[in-house]
């Protein structure tokens, strides 16, 4: 489990650290499921919308949209 962050730590940095810690959880155990629930709640508290933003980015990637910054009016790479 990560060390509690200082109050001066940016919410995005905190969310990134918490997201990294998700990789080591065993979701087949009750402790792992409780742990992920706690971590996800902390991520949402520290950086509201971070989980939905990541999920949206993954879904857009599946649809062929690049996650690189560009104009919102620019079409996916395959449709230029």
Name the average pLDDT for the chain.
75
Burial degree of 72 (CB within 10 A; 0-12, 13-18, 19+) = exposed
The pLDDT tens digits for 41-78 are 988 898 899 889 988 988 998 998 875 655 555 555 55
Confidence of residue 30 (pLDDT cuts 50, 70, 90): very high
Q: CA of 14: how far to CAs of 52, 63, 73, in Å? A: 16, 29, 31
């Amino acid at each position: 489990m990560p060390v509690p962050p200082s109050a001066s730590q940016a919410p995005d940095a905190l969310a990134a650290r918490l997201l990294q810690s998700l990789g080591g959880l065993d979701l087949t155990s009750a402790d792992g499921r409780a742990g992920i629930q706690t971590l996800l709640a902390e991520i949402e508290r520290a950086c509201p919308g971070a989980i939905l933003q990541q999920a949206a980015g993954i879904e857009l990637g599946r649809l062929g949209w690049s996650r690189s910054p560009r104009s919102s009016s620019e079409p996916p790479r395959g449709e230029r």
